[in-house]
Structure formats: structure tokens, C-alpha cells
Amino acid sequence: MRLTRAAEYAIRCIIYLAKQGRGVLANKNDIAERAEIPPHFLAKIGQDLAKAGLIEIRQGAKGGFVLVKEPRDITLLEVVETMIGEIYLNDCVARPSGCNALSACGVHQVWIRARNQLRDTLRQATFDKLIKKKICIPVSDVKNLTGLNNTRGRDNSPEPVKNLP
Amino acid sequence: MRLTRAAEYAIRCIIYLAKQGRGVLANKNDIAERAEIPPHFLAKIGQDLAKAGLIEIRQGAKGGFVLVKEPRDITLLEVVETMIGEIYLNDCVARPSGCNALSACGVHQVWIRARNQLRDTLRQATFDKLIKKKICIPVSDVKNLTGLNNTRGRDNSPEPVKNLP
DNA sequence: TTTATACAAGACAACAAACATCTTATTTAT
DNA sequence: ATAAATAAGATGTTTGTTGTCTTGTATAAA
Ligand code: SF4
Ligand code: SF4
């Protein structure tokens, strides 16, 4: 499992749409600008999200993206797996045939367990909950968006992870 | 986070050594053969494991790898993170400075939670427990190792994941 | 002391994936 | 008709994975 940029962008896109509410159309370039997503890349991501039934794409003048489902019916897991495929952590979880240990292998069992936990956690995070909290994607109020992830120059600074409680 | 081949190989290597017990020397090529690890690649992996203090490498004739710590003091997390670096799932968990949402972002909090759960699960898996169960890396008995992951020709067959209970 | 054995260290290369961008349609409101 | 907006997919750049290979060093045993 690896969260790609595309997946993070997709989440931001859905957040943006969820804030507006289901059925409300949003211009693609607006989304791209506010959520700091490369516009062309968003086009591709949007197609994936549409194929998965999360959004609907309106073509033509005054077109854009529309959220199809209610935010409370969309889970973080859904969005993430739409973009990066099903999470399985270890290869042998996805294809047990590779190793004949199957359920007998202790390590395998740990991966299964870790995978299920992770997916459950992401499944519990629905977008109605997510948009209630403050979020770094402003939808209409802030014009001067300061803090977005514009780590373009991909710095690999060590910067230790804080272990929040 | 992505479990690489190198990480899976490292786990198998430690499993092999753990089965023999701490302080018992094992020939590198034997490990490579039994655990189905490309020999030269194992050399590289071994160096990482040695740097992390998990094993000791004996050079020269009759050299090889020796487990330094007791199996019960080695966790799956330790081995995995030695090989792939600290697990953080999402970039912004590792570098909160990228996004000024910090603890305010609902999505961020989910990633933090998921990350902690995952790491805890892997930390609880110590190698004394792991080698008690049957495992697909035989150490001394089986000569005809049948079921190892020799998916060399990297098949991308769909083969759906079973949802074990 | 010489030799064969075994690992160290790091360069290098093939391949795949991520991360986009660009071009050429097609669709739709006006 | 025209302009606005997305679709579809070809293409390119960069990074990461998964090794292999070469040269050198340490050690045991003859
Ligand atoms: S040894 Fe266990 S964890 Fe590793 S590939 Fe085989 S079944 Fe999976
Ligand atoms: S929007 Fe939230 S989850 Fe996404 S990068 Fe910013 S802090 Fe992280």
C-alpha cells in the first residue's frame, strides 16, 4: 500500500465537493486551484472517480464535477482504493497462491490482521465527519490560501514525525 | 507505505535465523537458497540488518550471519522499518509542515490513527511468536521445498483476495 | 604463509511506477 | 455557429525497486 499523490488529490477533490453538498456542480479548474491540484492531473483523477460512481462529470460549457453520493455514504477507504487499488500491504495477502504457507504462516496472519484493521479504520472515516472538522482546503471563504501542500521541490528533509496522542 | 521485496526477504532471513536461535551462525548462501532470496540481494539486505543491530556478519571463510538479539526482542515492525523506512502512510504525516492544517485536518487525524494502529500491530508481532507457527521457510527438515514464492515471471493475474474472518 | 572461502562496499543497469503535460477530439450552453 | 468545458489517451520526466557485477578485504585452514 502506498498513498500516491493522485489519491491525496482525489481526497481533496471529494472534500471540496462534499463541502458544497451532493448535486452541486463545481468547475474543474476552480477545484484544481483551491485544492492545489495540477489541473490536467485532476482531469484524469476525475475520470477515475466518475468510473467508480463517486462523481458525475458534466461536459460542455458550464460543465464540471458533481458529487453523486451523500458525503456520509462516501468513505475514505472508497476514495483511496479507487485511486490505488485494493489495499493488501503484502503481496502474499493479495495472491496467497504464491506461497503455500497460506493461513499456516504466522507472518501472513499478521499482515491479514494489519490489513483488515487499516481498511476498517479508513472505512469508518466518512466524508460527512471529515468535512465537519476544519480542513486545509478552503471552499469559499479564504482567498489567500497559505498553507497548502506546495512541496513542489520535493524536499527530503528528515523532520521527525510527532507522535500525537 | 509499501512492503518491498527487500523487506519480505529480510523477514524471511530473520525467520531463518530465529529458528536456529540467537548466536548460531548461518551461511549466507544457505539462507538465500532456503528462503528463496537472490544471493547478491541478500548480501545487501544483510548489511542493512547488521547496521540496524539485528544481526552480526562474520567475514572470511566459514563466515555468515548471526542473530544478535533474542527472537522475542525482535518485532516485525523493526525489520520492516529497517528496510523501508518509518511507516507513515501519508506524506503529510511525516512532514506536517507541508500542510498547515496539522491537527485541525480531519483527514490528517485519520491517517495518524491508521498509522499508529498499523505500527502497533506490527510491533506486537515478535519473532518468538512468529516462528512458533508453521512457516513456509523450512530450516532443516524439508529438502524438497515446494511452495515458495517463486513468482519470477511476475504474473499480474487478478485472483481476488479472500476475506478471511 | 599461502590459498581458498566468504562477505563488504558500492557502481551500475533494467524495469516499473508515479506524476504529470500536451494534443486532439467531443460535448454542451449561448 | 461559437466558445467553453471536459474526454481520451499518447507521451515524457523523474523516482524507486530489484537486482547484478566488480573489486577489495577478512578469516580459517592447509
Ligand atoms: S513467508 Fe509468510 S508472509 Fe512471507 S510470503 Fe510467505 S506466506 Fe507471505
Ligand atoms: S488535506 Fe489533510 S490529509 Fe491532505 S495533505 Fe493536508 S493535512 Fe494531510
Report the C-alpha dihedral over residues A109, B118, A6, A123, rounded to 10 degrees.
80
pLDDT of residue B96: 74
Compute CA distances A52 → A69, A79, A83, A85, B49, whole Å: 11, 9, 10, 11, 42
A92 and B CB contact within 8 Å:
yes
Question: What's the CA gap between B148 and B137, in Å, rounded?
Answer: 8
Question: What's the CA gap between B26 and B22, in Å, rounded?
Answer: 11
Distance A105 CA to ligand 1 centre (A): 6
B93 and A CB contact within 8 Å:
yes
- Type and span of the H or E element at B67: strand B64-67
Residue extents of the structural domains in chain B: 5-86+127-160
Q: Which of B77, B138, B66 is nearest to A105 (CA)?
A: B138
On chain B, the residues whose CB falls within 8 A of the CB of A109 are 133
This prediction has a pTM of 0.84
Question: What's the CA gap between A41 and A110, in Å, rounded?
Answer: 36
Grade residue A94 by pLDDT with cuts at 50, 70 and 90: confident
A118 and B CB contact within 8 Å:
yes
pLDDT of residue B95: 80
Q: How distant is the Cα of A67 from the closest Cα of chain B, in angstroms?
A: 18
pLDDT of residue B15: 94
On chain A, the residues whose CB falls within 8 A of the CB of B130 are 106-107, 110
Which whole number is the average pLDDT over A73-81? 97
Is residue A87 within 8 Å of residue A119, measured between CB atoms?
yes
Residue ranges in chain B whose pLDDT is less than 70: 97-98, 100-104, 133-165
Q: Which residue is nearest to the C1' sugar atom of C10, using CA?
A: B44
Q: Which of A103, A116, A119, A107 is nearest to B76 (CA)?
A: A107
Which whole number is the average pLDDT over A28-44? 94
Three-state SS string across B84-147, please? HCCCCCCHHHHCHHHCCCHHHCHHHHHHHHHHHHHHHHHHHCEHHHHCCCCCCCCCCCCCCCCC
For the cut 90, the answer to whether the pLDDT of residue A128 exceeds it is: yes
Strands (E) in A49-159, as ranges, are: 55-58, 64-67
Ligand at minimal distance from the CA of B91 is 2
For the cut 50, the answer to whether the pLDDT of residue A160 exceeds it is: no
* CA distance from start to end of chain A: 24
pLDDT of residue B165: 29
Q: Are strands A55-58 and A25-26 parallel, antiparallel or unpaired?
A: unpaired
Grade residue A91 by pLDDT with cuts at 50, 70 and 90: confident
Query: What phi and psi values does residue A58 have, to the nearest 5 degrees?
Result: -100, 120
Ligand 2: nearest atom to the Cα of B93: 8
For the cut 50, the answer to whether the pLDDT of residue A140 exceeds it is: no
What architecture is domain B5-86+127-160?
Orthogonal Bundle (1.10)
Distance B14 CA to ligand 2 centre (A): 36
**Crossing angle (nearest 10°) for helices A106-124 and A76-84:** 120
- Judge whether residue B56 contacts strand C, using its CB and a 7 Å cut-off: no
pLDDT of residue B94: 85
Nearest residue (by CA) to ligand 2, atom 5, is: B92
pLDDT of residue A153: 32
For the cut 70, the answer to whether the pLDDT of residue A159 exceeds it is: no
B141 and A CB contact within 8 Å:
no
